[in-house]
Amino acid sequence: MKIGICGICGRMGVSVLKIMLERRHVLAAAFDHEGAPRFGDDAGRLVGGEGLNVTITAINRDDVRKADGIIDFSAPAASMRLIEEALSAGKPLVIGTTGLSDDQKKEIEKASRRIPVLFSPNMSVGVNLLFKLTETAARALNTDYDVEIFEAHHRFKKDAPSGTARRLLEIVRENMGGLEDAKEVPGRDGIVGERTKNEIGILAMRGGDIVGEHTVFFTTFGERIELTHRATSREILSSGAVTAMEFLAGKPAGLYTMYDVLGL
């Protein structure tokens, strides 16, 4: 496939580039913001290889049209700009950008009525299994179990809590009776009183080079259930993103997730 990458100068963008080249796909477009490292350079320099004859540039319609689809790990504003051009060109999108607002997510859903869009806060096979296990546990349990979500990432991550942690929160709300409108508690400090049944704690840690860790705790008197996923390599995410783009080839317009890719 001829694939474009938006946010190519970031850690995920570089990792996606490596994986897609290993799978013998062709880089057709390379997008990032003007202040990004290597902006204006040949994208091949990002992986220390020979030139790929693709210049890293701002999002533009001509380059979007050159690709069979675009993989996006950028920033919310850039994702919205990319959607405009993808709609104009009729190109499929794989969106892994996090930190999106509810209104921006609605724009993604709206775009999926005209083009195929795969949107997931995490492209890892293991994390998507964690999503499914969390769904199963939330359906089986009730509000006698207190739910808390913990996530940890590297010191450079800009948004918190992570998109994956927020998706885990949504899954619990959607599947555990009595928690549909549970209050999100991002941290506790001082004399906050007893924990209520109608809240879900969501806690973030940042440090070093942690690729990603997520744990969902279901805790009651006498027992505790912990569902944990730890990523030790960014390649599991980039590999999943490339697999997602391969999956979208020839698909009709619609909003897809990694569940569709994995057949879950």
The residues annotated as belonging to the active site are: 153, 157
- Cβ atoms of 116 and 86 within 8 Å: the answer is no
Structure-token pair, residue 21: 């080249």
Q: Could you tell me which residues are beta bridge partners of residue 205? A: 152
CA dihedral 72, 76, 11, 203 (to 10 degrees): -120
Give CA–CA dist 255/47, Å, rounded. Answer: 32
Task: State the sign of the Cα–Cα–Cα–Cα dihedral 75, 64, 68, 16.
Answer: negative
Q: How many CB atoms lie within 10 A of CB 242?
A: 24
Give CA–CA dist 255/135, Å, rounded. Answer: 20
Q: Return the ∠ at Cα 238 (arms to 80 and 60), rounded to 5°.
A: 35
Residue 145 per-residue DSSP state: S
Q: Is 139 helix (H, G, I), strand (E, B) or coil?
A: helix
